[in-house]
Structure 1
Amino acid sequence: MALLINSCNHLASYILESSDRFFYDLGVSIAKHPWKTILYCWIFVALSVVGLVRFRQEKNPLNLWVPPDSNFHSDTLWLMENFKTAIRPQTVLVTAENVLTPNVLRQVAELSQKIKKVQTSNGMVKWDDVCFKAPMLELSFAERSKIDPNDDNITNFFDEFDPSVDLNIHLYCAILDNMKLGCIEWNIVDIWKYDPEKISELTNEDIIDDINSVAISPVSGHPMNYSSLLGGVKRNSTGHIISAESLVALWMVNVNFEDVDMNVAGNDAGTADWASESSLKWEKAFLNTMEKLSKNVTDDVKVFYEASRSFGDVSGATMFQDIDKLAIGITLMVIYVQLVLSNYNWIEFRAILGGFGLLCVGMAFISACGICSLIGISYGPVHTSLPFLLMGLGIDDMFVMMASWNQLDQLDKVDLNICIGKMLRHAGPSITLTTFTDVLAFIIGASTILPCLQSFCFYAAVGVFLTFVFAVTFFTACFTLDQKRIKNDYNAFIFCYKHPDYKYPAWSQRNYSSSIFEAVYSKFILTRPGKVLVILITLITFGVSLQSAMELEQRFDPYWFIPANTYLHAYLKERNEYFPQMGYEGIVFFGKLNYSHEFMNIHNMALKLKERTDIVNNVDTWTVPFIEYAKALNADFKPYNMSDEIWSEYIGKFLYSPRGARYQRNFRFETDLLCGLPAPPTTVAGFEFRFNIFKGPEETLPAKQAVENIVRNNSITTGDRFATVWAKIFGSWVTDEVIEVEVIRNLMLALACVMFCTVILVTNLQMCVWIFVCVLLTMINVCGYMQRWGLTIDLVACIGLELAIGLCVDYATHIGHTFLTNTTGNRKSRAIATVSYVGSAVFYGGGSTLLALSMLSQSEAYVFQSFFKIFFLVVVFGLFHGVVFLPVVLSIIGPPPYQYLRMPQSNEAQKEMDNEGSDAFEGVPTIELKENFA
């Protein structure tokens, strides 16, 4: 055992001594050739920029937020490849004390007419160019569109007269061929053919009578359930509608997936939907028109609206709308950094050095983008937060280096090259430890199944490493030049002006921060009562946080991205109030099956889904009307015993019948479907439904799984046996399924990285344990107070916590490493010397991060609010555990300092030391070299 301990000590001494030599050599070399170092750094950046020729910004939400091995990912690709088209609804919602009055409906009809005239500013895209079209069955039977008010089933109406059944098929198809295709619109004023004058002549009683009796659209001839377009409905004792407080109208835009280019349709936030360029342009014109029309209604009527592009537009703009606030925060941080780095006199004020320090971050970010682009890693929306992480880490490194510099004494008596070497000799190992801990944590974090987070972790790992490289090279070179300016008494602002015989004010030469830290810790925190109080606060905070962390919910709503002052938020608020049944749309799809054989399996599946009223509503299946239609064609029709010929004949007729035409959008065939001919082999079929509105993942995920089980547990045995359920909202729900596991997994792996790196680089097991404890306590506190602050576990929190690990590691590590290099005195005096030496640098680093993000507290954007809250908690608890709790622990049971083995040296450092003698390490009071050739 003694041999093992001795071997470990030798290994630790070798690692630390080698590290010291390397950074001393590097510092001396940079100090001798600062301009050459700066040039080499800029050449590296220039070469890295070449990689931006392969820069690709990912805008497809499927490739950003959805695990690539999920069913939703593969189902979406299958759907776009096989179904090829989709419908994008544009919605207008009208509210009034009673919308079923001539005044309100007349205004709705006028508004509808104006919407149909919407076109792009250049007139190139009109409503008729983008709308979803279907045959308008304006036959004589449309005049008989009223049914028995007590009969909710329109089947009886078609039993009386169905031209597709009662007329000769060739005559019927000839009539259809002469009919024009019309744009599909779901609108209650369709009952009166959108005629404002006709509506003005109606009485309230006429409107109520029509609402309760019309079930066939007089415009399209298609069956319509107009009551589903009403909200806040009041009924009489017989169940008839007598008034309504709102109505909704929808205009259907057609999308051909083959025309979709996400580089055009997507946005920088990665929240846009799939759409063609023409449909996006028309929807933009629709929104501009609705903004004006919504203000030109009577006082008793209110109009709200939404386009399919609205969520992508608003969420994308929201994510970047507060960049000005962030710019203010960064400006404040630049000023702050310069104030911290400077002594307040005409020479030692470092007006430019702070800017060059932040330039290191910019160089690292640009180089990381170039390198990652070169190897094919795409850039995503969350990558915008990377510069703030790099600023937090880079500025922290600068402060530690300045803290090392400020501890050097008698600078005028020692060669500047040697002083720079001694500065890096101590600061280098400390910032190396924090850097490689962060890099390894991000590399392991890149194993996540979330594509955007995976890409971000690669960018972060490269960016953090390059920030470290530029800090120890570029910043050191700039610092050397600035120090030469100071040594030659040149003005801090007018560089060409030299102060003759300048006398530095005595007050500007004092290190006030070190004095304050030493006084606070020696007289308060590291006294016996102070230690007891700190430990009690730590334990109490840990207990409260642990309880809250256990209650932290996994919940995410995409509409959190919508600020309260937007038109979309106002629309969603009214929709949820008046149309709670308008949950998320879902579709059950089937592939290439033998539909004549599988029809009853599909029918039974639809019926089972319809029975689950606890999770779904409005199951719009074509199987029920198809059976009724087939029986109208042949009274002896048996749905469970169809031949392929019967299926092709009947489904072909059904999809051109008044009751079945609207289901054409649910089918795809090998060739075009033609009226009067049997249907070609079916390649895709489906039916639609709506999920109920749920409170959160505790309801959404079981509902999703229940529907999937109904579809999965089928008896389909023919064809490709493909059957699946798809909904656009599944993109968020799939993430909900994995995000909690991903957060826990990433945090555990990051903590393991902390332990691994500190064991390798700190080479002191006891200190490694205490650093790990500080990071663990910080993350538990952060998670606990996230819950108390109203945050949940979601994708934003996952990214924020990934960044948090990188920040909070630094605080404890700098303190722990410096304590180990402090060899003078007992544990308490070493702890006081540690916080006096590096405590202010760590504290200033945390303060700079808070200052940069402080303006985000005023943002209305959910992402910025969440980031501010998480980073605020990380900085507060990270500083407490690293700068307060850890010194208290180390003053009680801290490990002994490093014991170095003096290794033979033949490099530049040895030559410099031989020339300078013992002066080479004079002024580094935290390290004592001991010759030990045991």
Structure 2
Amino acid sequence: MKFFGCVDRALSTAFYHYGKFIARHAYLFLFIPLILSGLLCFGIFFLEMEKNAEDLFTPYESIARDDKAVINNLFPINYTHFKGGRFLSTTERVGTVMVTPKKGLDLLSREAVEEILHLDEVIRNIVIKDMKGLRYVDLCAKWMGRCMPDNFLSALDYDAKNIVSMPITYPVIQKGNQSFFIGASLTDINYFNMTNIVQSASIYKANYLLSSSPELEDLSIEWEYAFIDTLHEFESPYINIIYFTSNTISDELLSLSERVMPRFSVTFGVLFMFAVGSCMMSDWVLSKPWFGQLGIISAGLAIMSTAGLMGIAQVPFNQIVSVTPFLAIGIGLDDMFIMLAAWRQTDAKLSVEERMGKAYSEAAVSITITSLTDVLAFCIGSYNPLRAIKIFCLYTGLAITFDYIYQITFFGACMVLIGRREAANKHCYTCKKVLPKSEAKTTWYRIFCAGGGFKEQDSVSKKDIEPWLMQFFKNHYGPFIMKPVVKFVVLISFAVYIGLAVWGCTQVREGLELKKLAADDSYAYKAFELDDEHFNEFGPPVQMVLPNKLSYWEPETQNQLEMITENLEKSEFVHPSMFTTSWLRTYNRFLSQIGVNITTLNQTMFMMILREQFLKVPEFSEFALDINFNFSNMNKPCITSSRFILATTGLFTSVEEAKFLKEMRNEVEESPIDIHVFGPSFVYTEQFLIVAPTTMQNLIIATICMFFVALVLIPHPICAVWVTICVASIEVGVIGFMTFWGVNLDGTSMINVILCIGFSVDFTAHITYAYVSATDENPNKRAISALHSLGMPIFQGGFSTILGMFALCSSPAYIFRSFFKVMLLVMVFGLFHGLLLLPIILSLFGRFMRPNREKQGQQHEAVKTEETGDEGNEKSLYNNLLEGETLDQIITTI
């Protein structure tokens, strides 16, 4: 296994010398990181908040985005000649209000309708605070010179008395030659027996469409905020109102970030106390409270440097990045505990310089492995088609990089200064020299002041210099789990765990509802929830766009288009043909009504009647929005592009939306005619198609990469295999059990799965590296030795990360709560694998792995070199180690 240990030996030797170098130049390594982070933090002032949900949660290579661009080019929206049903985006400027009756009242009663009319009047009279005093009528999207009317209120002639005398039919009210479609206005309908006449309805919805033209967009945004303020103060004895605007999602994304960041101060305080408490002992010289404080500061410097550098690089901040500080502090403390454990493992009689070399030769290699794998996991995650996740991975990967840099520089310098205090037998708080406990003259002095004095002792008991938790792992926990019956129970429990996890993976739910981007207690959450649950009978329209020239007058072409349209209408999520807006179908009926034989029409006649007669009928004039003509050849004018509008239904969940999108695309891909299908929600729905395959791709790539990293850095191939198996096991467990906890597989939980990879390696690599580094012949004793060395810091690191994320468990938003849930699963399963399962497995396979005799010889010779001061022999020893010579050769050389 000499080949597999060469990298470990080289790193261990390099860090040994590096640790000693830091000890000789502590202040240099202390101040340079402080100056660097101080300079970088000015970049925070250049950070920009990105709150466009469409950009954040739409894939980079988005078919929907491309289709949207094509349609926008072919059919640009004219807000002075605007007709509903032809939206290109869910972010069209609009104010939406939904009305429910108060208890005991019918929504279709005269009192409730009068209140709805009053509400409509209030909204239309909202005045924005600009120099012109503009109202809705000045900013609205118009058709035939008027604001888009509300169909339900128009059918009532804006008179509440008509609700009593006029039968309300659903989904269309017919009055003479006029038809009023109210399918999108009323929901939860009850009918009179065996009729389509409405007896009652539960919810009314109205949209106030605004112009998004460049010259009016800013004013429309201002009107939206005035709309929110006005409705917030609106009160009525008969109706309740719920509302939102096109700007609501962006505002919620910004608001959530602002609400979650103050929790960081709580996390900081809790972790501060935990870190300090974890570094305390009953000995006032060996206690290191400043260690814990400086570990927090080191992580804080990494966070500031990351934010500053990203601000300088103009990488925007978003809602999900708000979680990065919580993660960075948890990871930073994990590394700190590893460094502290390595320091405690060194001989207290050695010089500070030698102790630093030895501590770094052990701990720095271990945290290098885990930091490298963490950063690698986020590098893989940054190649993500969703911009929100890519940005998060960039921020967090950089934060971990800075944390590692400051850990081996700034924190190392702090270790030196604290080590010098300990070597001088000074009190951990007062920094005054104190007497050992054996020389204390009073009880009070022994309790509050005394400590240290180990350099003067001939022999030092481990009980005197090691925390009780390290002793617990060595004397109680380790021997207990090495018992055969305990091993059997743990392996059976692991089999049950894997079975449940795999079953959970088969039950994974995909998708992120819009309401989950908002806070639970916000008006937006209630509005999106009500809209999602009740207004899907007539959902967002879908455009079927024909971007190229076609011979529309030819029966064969018409038959092809009819067949394609009918196939699309067969979907369970599309209303039947009576609700499809098709200019071609309507035109053919018009030709039949005026007695024209369709089959005899040539191109010229077809086009002439279409333009000169059909489109000039007021009832059909809206179809001019769906046809583009080319008159470059007046003898043969043609249609360059056109579109039909399909009405959707039953799209209640993101899973159904994804299924519908796939159905539509599969249907048009098989068509002999070039067709684009597009709905305003498709840009969001598209992420649901890529979440599962992208997650699996990232997991597979990352797991393979982790295996090769472990194979190179952990000096035994069997250990690399078991690390990889444990990583895969934790991943399966997290994905499976998050399903049981109500967390969907979506854009945000995909981030958690990426995190899972890095943290899984943290737990398993530390204990595996310690096992391989142990020198005992007995596999069980080597496992106990590994737990003794790193059981405590692994437990502290996992627990500190849970504490770091705990503030998110009560967050008012699903995104942050799901973060906490998944991270808790990662920590619990990681601790189970790292502190229980993996030591048992390593002990079972230990007979296939030789103990590290070379490391034992290296340590012995290093001590000898330090005691004799023979620098030439020291250099020769480590050079030979780097060259991979055997222990016998090294001894011969010396």
Q: TM-score, normalised by structure 1?
A: 0.80
Aligned equivalent of 1:570, options 503, 508, 526: 526
Shift of 1:666: 4.1
Task: Name the residue aligned to 2:439.
Answer: none
3-state SS, counterpart of residue 454 of structure 1: helix
- The correspondence for 2:136, drawn from 113, 117, 127, is 127
Structure 1 position 207 matched with structure 2 position 146? no
The alpha-carbon distance between structure 1 residues 111 and 409, as it changes in their structure 2 partners (threshold 3 A), is same
- Of residues 480-489 and 95-104 in structure 1, the stretch that sits farther from structure 2 once superposed is 480-489
Q: Which residue of 2 aligns with 1:303?
A: 241
Aligned ranges 1:201-600 → 2 under 5 Å: 202=161, 205-208=164-167, 215=174, 223-226=179-182, 229-236=185-192, 239-256=195-212, 276-293=217-234, 296-299=235-238, 301-314=239-252, 316-318=254-256, 320-343=258-281, 350-369=288-307, 379-410=317-348, 413-488=349-424, 492=428, 503-504=449-450, 510-575=466-531, 578-594=534-550, 596-597=552-553, 600=558
Find the residue that maps to 2:598 and give its secondary structure: coil
Residue in structure 2 matched with residue 704 of structure 1 by the alignment: 661
Is 1:191 the counterpart of 2:155 in the alignment?
yes
Partner SS state of residue 303, structure 1: strand
Q: 1:117 to 1:891 in 2, by over 3 A?
A: same
Letter in 2 for 1:608: E
Residues 236 and 330 (structure 1), Cα distance of their counterparts in 2 relative to 1, 3 Å cut: same
Change (3 A) 1:32 1:806: same
Gaps of 5+ in 2: 78-86, 437-444, 453-462, 876-880
- 1:915 has 2:869 as partner: yes
Alpha-carbon distance, 1:857 to partner: 1.9
1:818, CA displacement in angstroms?
1.0
Give the structure 1 partner of residue 21 of structure 2. 29
Q: Does 1:751 align with 2:703?
A: yes
Q: 1:693 to 1:312 in 2, by over 3 A?
A: farther
Counterparts in 2 of 1:815 and 1:589: CA distance versus 1, 3 Å: same
User: Structure 2 vs 1, CA of residues 314 and 609 (structure 1 numbering), >3 Å: closer, same or farther?
Assistant: farther
Q: Which one of the candidate residues 721, 731, 735 is aligned to 1:783?
A: 735
Change over 3 Å in CA distance of 1:214–1:783 after alignment to 2: closer
Q: Is the 8 A contact 1:901 1:933 kept in 2?
A: no
- SS of match in other structure, 1:732: helix
Distance 2:542 2:10 in 1: 63
Q: Give the structure 2 partner of residue 114 of structure 1.
A: 122
For 1:168, the equivalent position in structure 2 comes to none
Deviation at 1:24, TM superposition (A): 1.4
Q: 1:347 to 1:683 in 2, by over 3 A?
A: farther
Q: Which amino acid aligns with 1:302?
A: N
Rounded Cα–Cα distance in structure 2 between residues aligned with 1:749 and 1:670: 52
CA distance in 2 between counterparts of 1:64 and 1:115 reads 32
| Structure 2 counterparts to residues 136-155 of structure 1, below 5 A | none
* Matches of 2:889 and 2:53, distance apart in 1: 62
How much does 1:659 deviate?
1.0
Aligned partner of residue 776 in structure 2, secondary structure:
coil
SS of structure 2 residue aligned to 1:691 = coil
Deviations 1:133-168 (A, max 9, x none): 011xxxxxxxxxxxxxxxxxxxxxxxxxxxxxxxxx
Distance 1:244 1:37 in 2: 75
The answer to whether the Cα contact below 8 Å between 1:585 and 1:691 also exists between their aligned partners in 2 is: yes
Match of 2:96 in 1: 91
Aligned partner of 2:644 among 678, 687, 690: 687
The one-letter code matched in structure 1 to 2:718 is: Q
Query: Which residue, 604, 615, 623 being the options, matches 2:573?
Result: 615
Shift of 1:607: 4.5
C-alpha contact 1:83 1:684 (8 A) present in aligned 2: no
* Cα distance in 2, alignment partners of residues 204 and 700 from structure 1: 35
Shift of 1:303: 2.6
Alignment check: 8 A CA contact 1:603 1:623 kept: no
CA distance in structure 2 between the partners assigned to 1:602 and 1:932 by the alignment:
85
SS in 1 for 2:61: coil
Whichever residue aligns with residue 115 of structure 2, its letter is Q
2:775 is the alignment partner of 1:859: no
Change (3 A) 1:648 1:250: farther
CA distance in 2, matches of 1:255, 1:615: 30
Q: Specify whether residues 653 and 303 from structure 1 end up closer, same or farther in structure 2 by C-alpha distance, changes over 3 A only.
A: farther
1:833 aligns with 2:794: no
Would the aligned equivalents of 1:45 and 1:363 in 2 still touch at CA under 8 Å? yes
* Cα contact 1:390–1:463 (8 A) shared by 2: yes
The aligned amino acid for 2:472 is: I
Give a deviation string over 1:375-415, Cα, whole Å, max 9, x none. 776555433333333223221111011001111223xx432
SS in 1 for 2:888: coil
Amino acid aligned to 2:153: V
- Aligned position for 1:41: 33
What amino acid maps onto 1:842 in structure 2?
I
Q: Distance in 1 between matches of 2:596 and 2:210?
A: 39
Aligned to 1:266: none
d(CA) in 1 for partners of 2:493, 2:274: 30
Say if 1:81 and 1:330 are closer, same or farther in 2 by CA, change over 3 A: farther
CA distance in 2: counterparts of 1:234 and 1:522, whole angstroms = 68
Do the aligned residues in 1 keep the contact of 2:691 with 2:746 (CA within 8 Å)? Answer: yes
**CA deviations over 1:112-142 (Å, ceiling 9, x no partner):** 111101133446553123311011xxxxxxx
> Are 1:435 and 1:465, in contact at CA under 8 Å, matched by a contact in 2?
yes
Give the count of matched residue pairs: 833
Displacement of 1:828 in angstroms is 1.8
Partners of 2:75 and 2:625 within 8 A in 1: no
Shift of 1:494: 5.8
Shift in alpha-carbon separation, 1:452–1:932, aligned structure 2, 3 A: farther
Which moved further from structure 2: 450-459 or 741-750?
450-459
Which residue pairs with 1:764 in the alignment?
A: 716
* Unmatched tracts of structure 1, length 5 or more: 1-7, 136-180, 261-275, 672-676, 922-926
- Residue in 2 aligned with 1:101? 109
| 8 Å CA contact retained: 1:91, 1:250 | yes
- Pairs within 5 Å for 1:610-759: 611-612=569-570, 614-617=572-575, 618-629=579-590, 634-636=594-596, 638=598, 641=601, 643=603, 646-647=606-607, 650-651=610-611, 654-655=614-615, 657-666=617-626, 685-694=642-651, 696=653, 699-716=656-673, 721=674, 723-759=675-711
Report the TM-score, using the length of structure 2 for normalisation: 0.83
Using a 3 Å threshold, how does the CA distance of structure 1 residues 254 and 624 change in structure 2: closer, same or farther? Answer: farther
| Cα RMSD (Å) | 3.9
Quick one: structure 1 residues 856 and 442, their matched pair in 2 at CA, closer, same or farther if it must change by over 3 Å? closer
Aligned residues of 2:730 and 2:826 also touching (Cα < 8 A): yes
SS for the counterpart of 1:224 is strand
Q: Following TM superposition, by how much is the alpha carbon of 1:452 offset from its aligned partner in structure 2, in angstroms?
A: 3.4
User: Over residues 845-878 of structure 1, what are the superposed CA-to-partner deviations in whole Å (9 max), with x where a residue is unaligned?
Assistant: 0000001111222223111121111111111111
Structure 1 residue 471 displacement after superposition: 0.6
- The answer as to whether partners of 2:435 and 2:450 remain within 8 angstroms in 1 is no
Counterpart AA for 1:248 = Y
